[in-house]
Structure 1
Amino acid sequence: MENYLIAMGVSAGIYALMALGLNVIWGMAGLVNLGLVGFFAVGAYTSALLTTKLGLPILLGVVAGAGMGALVGVLVALITARLRGDYLAIVTLGFAEALRVIASNEVWLTNGTDGISGIPGPFRADLGPVGFNLFFLILVAALVTAVFFAFERLSYSPFGRVLRAIRDDDQVAAVAGKWVIAYKVQAFAIGCAALGLAGALYGHYTSYIAPEIFVPLLTLYIKLSLLAGGVGNNRGAVIGAVLVVAFLESTRFIIPLLPGLSAVQGAALREIIVSGALIVLLRFRTQGLVPEAHSHPLIPRQPGAAAKESPTHA
């Protein structure tokens, strides 16, 4: 039971990293990205290939996974720079599916549908199963904390305020002299770096990756995390990720208690429960559990500021 709870914590941390990356792309810049799992896979495969086939250190593999996620994010952003809304969503979804098909067929590189096994984990042999799981939980928690504070500073920096302006109305931002495309590309790069980092950590934790892991359902879970927590809020992204993992795992124990359900029916019922819970949450908390703040945390809005008016001339 202890190992199971630790594994849940690691999963929640990886979900939180992905939700933080999505928050930069969607919550701050307003770019609809349905290809999250594709960038997650890029990070996982990059780190796995570097550490298993080339024998590079795990740290270098993880850094390369995050960097490759950022690079691929830049390429996708440049290709889709002129697209908006549904069109951008369709292209990014197609990118993730194309990547999964490539990973399934390029046996010489990814070992095809058999996947890559034996991915090394930091101190796995020295710590043993229980010690390794606990160490990895601490590592993931530290990385989530570091990324959270970095993105918090980014959110309230001039760069973050420009991203919000682009999200609200990119034409007004362009008229104000901001190079909108450059900011969108940078937002994609930063967000996809977090997605690639999450993918690299996942591979080194599970020691195995395969194309069937990187399905669109994972993207939906991450979007669900951000919607539940609060779009545009880094705290909401982390809280939403933890709640989604806890909710998904708790339903795993409830379904077997219902008589007459097969395994397939139980899995479908879990998805229905998750969808219903999201509908209820958004019905009563439209902006999520932790709505986006509308004032700078270091410069709080003055209560009487709105009431002050300039003096009128007689």
Structure 2
Amino acid sequence: MISYLVFAGTIAGFYALLSLGLVTAWGQGGLVNLGLVGFVGLGAYTSALLSGAAFPIWIDWIAAAVVSAAVGLALCFVVRNLRGDYLAIVTLGFAEILRLAETNEKWLTKGSDGISGIVAPLKSDLGESFPFFYLIMTWTLVGIVAFLLGCLLRSPFGRALRAVRDDEQIAAVAGKSVLRLKLQAFGIGAALSGLAGALYAHFTSYIAPDVFVVQLTIYIFLTVTVGGQTRLAGAVVGSIALVALLEASRFIAAAIPGLDAVQIASLREFAIAVTLILVMQLRPEGAFRMTNERSGLSASRAASESCYGKRAIVDDAT
């Protein structure tokens, strides 16, 4: 039972990293990235291939984040004039292109067979203690990333990024480089996705294209929605809540007599869908409501003071 909880906690840590990246790009920057899973796979394959070439693991992880960030910057630059649903559709298609490339380029990725035997740090030395070590390491990394992002988003960069999210024209009039801010936010989100993918690859020692499906992106969006799309704390709490929901639904579905494995899996997905609907209906702002980062006002009160609110955006961006 303890091993099971440790495994679930580690997965929650991976989700937390992805959610922190999504909060930065979507919640703070307004960039809807439905291609999240594509960058997870890109980071996982980058780290796995470098590990197979006998590079140190820490270099593999840095390379995974850098490669994912570089590809994310390139994609964001290409679609720089898109926003909203159009950006979401393009990023979703890009993730599918990456998955198809991972499936068909067998000379590099071994296709649908996947890559196995990925080396994990200190696994042979720690033995049965390895899962605990990886759990602590993952959540330590989550804490460091959350702290650094918190400092960054409270800085002038964060205020300018929120100005772009709320109204690009006002931010541009205030003298801010809208494109540069978008690229930075998207790049940070892609880098964290790639890092999470690399951590996952070395934890499970196996990756394949079928692991990186759109369903993972839906999970992360649910996580951020439950926690509050603008709040870093919400990303972490939402990740834990998501894993708890997934695992609880597994046991509940298995306890229902007469269901086969396919039906159990369908019920779990149904539980996720119902949860998302209920959250959007009952608490659309998530567990941690969005606040005005400068005055501490609630989002609803700040929105009611629309004229003042727009002046505050310009002031924060300058």
Moved more, 285-294 or 12-21: 285-294
Q: Greater helix share, 1 or 2? A: 2
Find the counterpart in structure 2 of residue 119 from structure 1: 118
Instruction: Tell me the equivalent position of 1:55.
Output: 54
Aligned AA (1:60): I
In 1, the alpha carbon distance for the partners of 2:296 and 2:109 equals 51
Q: Which has the larger radius of gyration?
A: 1
Q: Which amino acid aligns with 1:149?
A: F
- Report what 1:13 is aligned to: 13
Do 1:233 and 1:293's aligned partners in 2 also have CA atoms closer than 8 Å?
no
Q: Which residue pairs with 1:164 in the alignment?
A: 162
Query: 1:259-298, CA deviations, whole angstroms, 9 ceiling, x for partnerless residues?
Result: 22221122111111121122222322220001122134xx
Q: Distance in 1 between matches of 2:22 and 2:279?
A: 20
* One-letter amino acid of the structure 2 residue matched with residue 39 of structure 1: F
Helix, strand or coil for the counterpart of 1:48?
Answer: helix
Q: Deviations over 1:167-206 (max 9, x none)?
A: 1111111121111111101111111111111000000000
What is residue 259 of structure 1 aligned with on the other side?
257
The answer to whether the aligner puts 1:140 opposite 2:144 as a matched pair is no
On the 8 A contact 1:28/1:167 being kept in 2, the answer is yes
Task: List runs of 5+ in structure 2 lacking aligned partners.
Answer: 298-304, 306-318
1:312 alignment partner in structure 2: none
Q: What CA deviation, in whole Å up to 9, does each residue of 1:9-28 have, x standing for no partner? A: 10000000000000111000
Quote the offset at 1:55 in angstroms.
0.5
Secondary structure at the counterpart of residue 290 of structure 1: coil
The equivalent of 1:73 in structure 2 is 72
Aligned counterparts of 1:173 and 1:196: Cα–Cα separation in 2: 29
Measure the CA separation in 1 of the matches of 2:268 and 2:189: 29
Tell me by how many angstroms 1:132 deviates.
0.7
Partners in 1 of 2:76 and 2:281 — Cα distance? 33
1:208-235 Cα distance to aligned partner (Å, 9 max, x none) = 0000000000000000000000011000
The amino acid that maps onto 1:293 is T
* Number of positions where the alignment pairs a residue of Structure 1 with one of Structure 2: 298
Letter in 2 for 1:94: G
Q: Which residue of 2 aligns with 1:287?
A: 285
Amino acid of the structure 2 residue aligned with 1:7:
F
Question: 4+ residue stretches of structure 1 with deviation over 4 A?
Answer: none
- Equivalent position amino acid for 2:282 in 1: F
Superposition TM-score, scaled by structure 2 size = 0.91
Structure 1 segment 224-263 matched on structure 2, within 5 A: 224-263=222-261
Runs of at least 5 residues in structure 1 that lack an aligned partner in the other structure: 307-314
The amino acid across from 2:253 in the alignment is I
- Asked if structure 2 preserves the Cα contact closer than 8 Å seen for 1:25 and 1:31, the reply is yes
Take 1:267 and 1:180, find their aligned partners in 2: how far apart are those partners? 43
Matched position secondary structure for 2:176 = coil
**2-structure distance, mates of 1:32, 1:222:** 12
Per-residue CA distance 1:99-138 (angstroms, 9 max, x = gap): 000000101100111101110001111111x311000001
Please list, as runs of the form range in 1=range in 2, the aligned pairs for 1:76-91 lying within 5 A after superposition: 76-91=75-90
1:101 lines up with 2:122 in the alignment = no
Other structure's SS at 1:81 match: coil
- The code of the aligned residue for 1:62 comes to W
Identity of aligned pairs, percent? 52
Deviation at 1:300, TM superposition (A): 5.7
User: What amino acid does structure 2 have at the position aligned with 1:69?
Assistant: S
Q: 1:199: which partner in 2? A: 197
Give the Å deviation of 1:255.
Answer: 0.4
The letter of the residue matching 1:272 is F
Aligned Cα root-mean-square deviation (Å): 1.2
Distance 2:48 2:91 in 1: 23
